[in-house]
Amino acid sequence: MMAKIVVALGGNALGKSPQEQLELVKNTAKSLVGLITKGHEIVISHGNGPQVGSINLGLNYAAEHNQGPAFPFAECGRNESSLHRLSITRKLTK
């Protein structure tokens, strides 16, 4: 029986810009696919603090300049987590 492995990706490991995030996720996915191919079961956990902070700052700036609604920090985190999961899933299934 192969190992059950928990992979924890810290928010800082996922990049500071959307382009950097996609490149880092692509590289990480290659390693994860290698583990899956060998028969390991994996669980992926990820942080997102830096990304949520950037999103929150941008949305607050937009709201202050009447360019959109303000979003609570927790909402930014929830939305950003969905983007991380989507990015990782897409790279794993390619």
**Sequential DSSP letters for 5-70:** EEEEE-GGGG-SSHHHHHHHHHHHHHHHHHHHHTT-EEEEEE--HHHHHHHHHHHHHHHHTTSS--
| CB-based contact 45:7 (threshold 8 Å) | yes
> Which tens digit of pLDDT belongs to each residue from 30-75?
889 999 999 999 998 887 788 888 889 999 999 999 998 888 888 8
| pLDDT confidence band for 27 (50 / 70 / 90) | confident
Burial class (CB in 10 A: 0-12, 13-18, 19+), 75: middle
pLDDT digits (tens, 9 = 90+) for 73-92: 888 878 777 777 777 788 78
* pTM for the predicted model, two decimal places: 0.62
